[in-house]
Amino acid sequence: MPAKQLPLFPGPGEHVLTRNSPLSEAIPPFLDHLRAEGRSVHTISAFSSDLNLLREFFGDETPLKTFTTTRLNQFMEWIEHGRGVPCSRKSYARRVTTLKVFFKFLKAERVIPSDPAAALLQRSGAAPLQPVLSNADVRRLLEHTQSLRFADKPDARPDLLVRLLLDTAIKKSECMDLTSSHVHRENPAEPFLVIRHRKPNNVYKERNIALDPEWMSVLDEYVEQYTPQEKLFECTARNLEYVLSDAAQGAGVEGKVSFEVLRWTSAVRDYLRGVDLEVLREKMGLSRISWRETGDKIVRLAALQNEQKP
pLDDT digits (tens, 9 = 90+) for 199-258: 555 544 689 999 999 999 999 999 999 999 999 999 999 999 999 999 999 999 988 899
CA distances from 191 to 136, 172, 208, 209 (A): 27, 21, 10, 9
Q: Is residue 120 located within the same domain as residue 140?
A: no
Q: Is residue 139 located within the same domain as residue 24?
A: no
Count of domains forming the chain? 2
Q: Is residue 95 located within the same domain as residue 166?
A: no
The CA-CA-CA angle for residues 208, 192, 284, to 5°, reads 40
Q: What is the pTM of this model?
A: 0.62
Q: Is residue 240 located within the same domain as residue 108?
A: no
Half-sphere exposure in the Cβ direction for 13 (13 Å, CA)? 0
CATH code at 96? 1.10.150.130
SS3 220: helix
The CA-CA-CA angle for residues 219, 221, 226, to 5°, reads 90
Any domain includes 118: yes
**In b/e form, how buried is each residue of 96-123, taking b as 16+ CB within 10 angstroms?**
bbbbbbbbebbbebebbeebbbeebeee
Q: Is residue 29 located within the same domain as residue 105?
A: yes
pLDDT digits (tens, 9 = 90+) for 258-308: 999 999 999 999 999 999 999 999 999 888 877 877 888 899 999 988 776
Q: Which of 93, 145, 106 is nearest to 294 (CA)?
A: 93
pLDDT digits (tens, 9 = 90+) for 91-137: 888 999 999 999 999 999 999 999 999 999 876 555 678 899 999 99
